[in-house]
Structure 1
Amino acid sequence: MTNGALKTLFLPFDQEILAVPSASERWLFLGAEADREISDGWRGVLTCLQPFKPDYLALQKAGFNAIPRLQGNERFDGALILIGKHRGRNEAWLALALSHVNPGGRIVVSGDKKLGVDSFRKTVEGLAPVIDRLSKHHAVAFWFDRSEQLNSDKIQALMAAPTRLENRFTTGPGMFSHTAIDKGSAMLVKHFEGRISGHVADFGAGWGYLAAQVLNYPDKLKSLALYEADFEALEAARLNVAGSPDVPVSFHWFDVNSEAISEIYDTIVMNPPFHAGRSADPTMGQGFIAAAAKRLKPGGKLLLVANRQMPYEADLKALFKSVQPLEDDAGYKIIEAKK
């Protein structure tokens, strides 16, 4: 999410078009991001829903009350929605706002023009009349009131049903590769046989595809740990990856690039993220590689898939004793690196 959309979200309040909530009010902020320009008065008002761990941690550091998921039937006097690039998750957030904001409460939405905010406004207009809008910083903000007569079926229709892949895996909007198994990950698992052993971790586990495939090789497997920054994806992984008494599985809502992992592993598998917003950012994957190098025991191995253009080889050679390309095809590369 661009900072422009965040600035635009608060612009109606800054320009006194809308009244800033009083200290006694409670507002829900969906898709929340921290920014030093948000006035201190908002800190005691907002409950910030943010399932992405790096943004969640930034919100906590900035003094906001942050949560990864709403629990129960909490009620709010109003809501802010900062939309992202995943339409399905944006619509789910809209449904949450409509479900948890008291009738008559104000809901303010903002998003980057390139991320479809105008299309999202049309979705809202099918539910409630938009009162007004403003445009600045390459973004649009608009607002409406939560109607008392709003049909609950229309709210429920915004909540996308979970996707089922291969009649086995549960996924949902906003998760990496939620409509189809990622081709690079499918290539990587072909190289698991004979290479999976000991205590294993999946860094950036998503909804659990790689981890589930690890469990297909139990002979030398002692444990499996999933590390994932998207809370909703990790919750899906809990459904998709079943351990056993012989092979316990643990799930960690975790930002691999900023939080310290304490355990040591024999094998780490990963399909590291490489997008920050809409742009490719190889430093994310480089951070994952560095974290793996720190948490592998001597002789341990990293099994990695990446897009061919990602410049990871120099980091791998600097951090590992041996680096072996296993496959290069269809725009992906599979690499085994030994500590």
Structure 2
Amino acid sequence: MSTLSNAYEALLRNRHLVTGRPVLVGIRDANLLNHWPDGGLAITDHFGVFEQLQQVANWQSVFGTPANGPVSDPCNTAVVFLPKAREELTFRLRLAASLLKPGGHLLLIGEKREGIAGAVKQLKAIAPESEKMDSARHCQVWLGKPDQADTDFDEAAWVSWHTVDSAGISLEVAGLPGIFSDGRLDEGTALLLASLDTVAPRGPVLDFACGAGVMGAWLQKRWGLAVDGVDVQAQAVTCAGLTYDRAKVSGVILPSDGLNGVTGRYQTIITNPPFHSGVATDTSMTEDFLKQAAKHLNPGGELRLVANGFLPYPRLIKQYIGNCRVLMKTPRFSVYSANRH
């Protein structure tokens, strides 16, 4: 049986505050829905969680925002779980408020170590009379009623654009709150692109954990290769599609938890994988990916991965793919390469 997080336990302790049909925004554990058998609306930006939510009776599930799936009915209570990125919180709060019936209430729940105390200012910008209802399980629970004059929500209005330049190639890249490295080219991706600038990788190419689509779009501009992209996060899937469209490049962008949704085989897989879950370091996603990657690489196909040097990836790459080489290195990052056994 799954052990619920502190934030979910705090919600259950205050379930009397959830009246009528609820909407849960930012849910990461489908087991929570079993405590509301009458159902409601569950929204997640994690595709693996979305697949689990779809199996729960009486609940409607949405991946990302209602722009990616219509909502059947407005709700009485919206529960917002605190995201890691502060800029994503206002995004979630506005989304939640737009799904409420007139007079509906908004609950914000998060752990103290995640910054719930500082997040209250953002809540009060939408629901000025919000009150703290409980402090338990290292969490705080806040309740407010949103200003009904400001509850419209359009995901497209939240999209931003920034320019990325690498090796003489300039790209316009889409961003949404909560996406990795929004508004800049991160150091790891820049190093990986530098390693791909001198010799063209062999296609077809897959960009795992593609984020906003920077590497796939850049590779196509540099070498004329069609690059497919896959990511678990809804914002990434949306932004990568927009980046590809703006750059006029080709390739399929798929939502997938790991490589579970990928059916093709590739000559090259590139990745700058995440290593955080919430605020904690978590390399399990990358280890799961490496276990799956071999069956999606053609014989002799290459995996190329960039990561912080302190992470234990060389051993895992050798175990699951083949002999691991270091192509480039900085004080913080290394680019690893291996060919399938």
TM-score (norm 1): 0.86
1: CA distance between counterparts of 2:298 and 2:229? 18
Deviations 1:232-280 (A, max 9, x none): 11111111124999x74101001116x2532110111001111122121
Q: Which moved more, 1:293-302 or 1:119-128?
A: 119-128
Task: Extract unaligned runs of 5+ from structure 1.
Answer: none
| Alignment CA distance shift 1:131-1:280 (3 Å) | closer
CA shift in 2, pair 1:319/1:243, >3 Å: farther
Q: Secondary structure at the match of 1:56?
A: helix
Task: Give the distance between the partners of 1:129 and 1:244, measured in 2 at CA.
Answer: 45
Query: In 2, Cα distance between the equivalents of 1:316 and 1:152?
Result: 48
1:198 corresponds, among 197, 200, 203, to 203
Query: Cα–Cα, structure 1 residues 43 and 196, in superposed 2: closer, same or farther, change >3 Å?
Result: farther
Residues 239 and 314 of structure 1: is their aligned pair in 2 closer, same or farther, counting only changes over 3 Å?
A: same
The Cα offsets for residues 263-321 of structure 1, whole Å up to 9 and x where unpaired, read as: 11011100111112212122222222222222100111111101101111122222334
How big is the shift at 1:28? 1.7
Q: Matches of 1:161 and 1:249 in 2, distance apart?
A: 21
- Residue correspondence of structure 1 range 119-268 to structure 2 within 5 A: 119-126=118-125, 127-148=127-148, 150-151=149-150, 162-166=160-164, 168-192=172-196, 193-219=198-224, 221=225, 223-242=226-245, 248-256=250-258, 259=260, 261-268=262-269
**For the residues of structure 2 that align with 1:93 and 1:124, how far apart are their CA atoms?**
10
Cα deviation for residue 131 of structure 1 reads 4.1
Summarize deviations over 1:195-231 as a string: whole Å, max 9, x none: 4222110011011111112112435x3x321010011
Residue 44 (str. 1) matches residue 33 (str. 2): no
**Residues 1:270 and 2:265 aligned together:** no
For residues 296-307 of structure 1, the aligned pairs below 5 Å read 296-307=297-308
Residues 336/39 of structure 1: CA separation in 2 closer, same or farther (3 Å cut) = closer
Matched, 1:104 2:103: yes
Q: d(CA) in 2 for partners of 1:27 and 1:77?
A: 6
> 2 CA distance for matches of 1:271 and 1:225?
15
Indicate the larger mover: 99-108 or 122-131.
122-131
Is the CA contact 2:74–2:99 (under 8 Å) kept in the aligned structure 1? yes
CA RMSD of aligned residues (A): 2.6
* Structure 2 CA distance for partners of 1:195 and 1:315, relative to 1, 3 Å: farther
- Secondary structure at 1:330 match in 2: coil
Distance, in Å, in 1 between the alignment partners of 2:115 and 2:268 is 41
Letter in 1 for 2:221: N
| Aligned residues of 1:26 and 1:46 also touching (Cα < 8 A) | yes
Q: Secondary structure at the match of 1:134?
A: strand
Map Cα deviations across residues 5-52 of structure 1 (whole Å, 9 max, x no partner): 111123222xx4x3x53xxx4322111132545554x24332111011
Amino acid at match of 2:203: G
Residues 132/241 of structure 1: CA separation in 2 closer, same or farther (3 Å cut): same
**Aligned counterparts of 2:203 and 2:122: Cα–Cα separation in 1:** 50
CA contact (8 A) 2:27 2:81 kept: yes
Letter in 1 for 2:207: D
Q: Is the 8 A contact 1:81 1:109 kept in 2?
A: yes
Number of aligned positions between the proteins: 322
Structure 2: how far apart are the matches of 1:184 and 1:244? 22
| 1:177-203 Cα deviation digits (max 9, x unpaired) | 113211011001112132422211001
Gaps of 5+ in 2: 165-170
CA distance 1:338–1:195, change in 2 (3 Å)? farther
Give 3-state SS (helix, strand or coil) of 2:54's partner: helix
Change (3 A) 1:132 1:334: closer
**Pair 1:272–1:102, CA change in 2 (3 A):** same
Distance in 2, matches of 1:182 and 1:274, equals 14
Aligned-residue sequence identity (percent) comes to 24
Q: Quote how far apart the aligned CAs of 1:161 are.
A: 5.6
Q: Quick one: distance in 2 between partners of 1:271 and 1:113?
A: 30
Distance 1:152 1:3, change over 3 A: closer
Aligned to 1:56: 50
Distance in structure 1 (CA, Å) of the matches to 2:285 and 2:109: 27
Q: Which amino acid aligns with 1:286?
A: E
User: Would the alpha carbon gap of residues 145 and 152 (structure 1) be closer, same or farther in structure 2, given more than 3 Å must change?
Assistant: closer
1:76–1:4 Cα change, 3 Å: same
Distance 1:171 1:147, change over 3 A: closer
| TM-superposition CA deviations, 1:135-185 (whole Å, max 9, x none) | 10100011112344x3469x89xx756242347111122111113211011
- Please tell me the residue identity of whatever aligns with 1:189: L
* Cα shift readout 1:95-151 (whole Å, capped 9, x = no counterpart): 112222122112111011122212222222234301442010100011112344x34
